[in-house]
Every structure is written in C-alpha cells, then in structure tokens.
Amino acid sequence: MIKKLALIILFLNLCAAFAAHKAPEKDYQNRFAKTLDNAKTEVVAPDKTRCDILTDEYAIEVDFANKWAEAIGQSLNYAMQFNKKAGILLILESPKDYKYYVRLNSIIKHFKLPISVWKIGE
C-alpha cells in the first residue's frame, strides 16, 4: 500500500512539474538552435557547466522568463568559458511574461552589459 501511495505521489509531482510550462526548456532550445548557423546544444564548458546553445559567435543561455536574473550570470559565465559573446534566449509563455523581458533588457542597458537578448514565445 505504501509503495502504491509513493508512486501516486511521484506521478502527481511529475505532472505538476510538466504542467508549469507549455513545453520543456529543451524544446525551445532546440527550436531556436535550428534557426542559427553551426549551433550546438548542451555543450560542456571547461568548468563543467553546460551551455544551452553554442555558435561560432555566441554562448547562449536559454531560460523561462521568470529566471531572467539567473540567465544574466549564466550567459556571462558561458561567454567567458568559451570566449564568445554572451546571449540569452528568454522564453515568454504568456503576455504576463513580457515584464521579465523588460527587466532583463533594462538591467543590461543600465549596466552596459555585453549580452544580446532574443525572445521566443508570446
């Protein structure tokens, strides 16, 4: 009985995790990578972190809109690790997510950060 209950709880948690987003981050990552020349995904950096998308010019972090702040640090780290330009692909899944896109770009502009930003979704 306890094993059955544990499996049900695990199943419900997995469902909740996938229900939080319209699609997994990896789907957006792969879709965007296909639009770029010589793009590779999930490239391991010298510090053992994984760059979401690496091109001849950019090291790109892909993240959901509410993780905009984390994306700044990750994109700069990937750029440094691979000696590329930093980039962020921000995933907007609803019109409400646009505020995060504005915040991200405001911080980048204010501090003159060398990060290019793209958006995908809404």
69-87 average pLDDT score:
98
- What's the longest Cα–Cα distance across the chain? 58
Domain extent listing, the chain: 22-121
Q: What is the pTM of this model?
A: 0.82
Calculate the dihedral angle through the C-alpha atoms of 109, 104, 52, 47, rounding to the nearest 10 degrees: 70
pLDDT of amino acid 111: 97
pLDDT beyond 80 at 13 = no
- What is the CATH class of 22-121? alpha beta
Pick the residue with more confidence: 22 or 94? 94
> 29-45 as b/e, with b when 16 or more CB fall inside 10 Å?
bbebbeebeebebebee
Q: pLDDT band at residue 22, thresholds of 50, 70 and 90? A: confident
Tell me the Ramachandran region of residue 86: left when phi exceeds 0, alpha when psi lies from -120 to 50, beta otherwise: beta
Calculate the dihedral angle through the C-alpha atoms of 109, 110, 114, 115, rounding to the nearest 10 degrees: -50
pLDDT beyond 80 at 21 = no
Burial tier of 22 (Cβ tally within 10 Å: 0-12, 13-18, 19+): middle
100-122 average pLDDT score:
96
Q: How many other β-carbons are positioned within 10 Å of the β-carbon of residue 61?
A: 26
pLDDT for 28-40, tens place per residue?
999 999 999 999 9
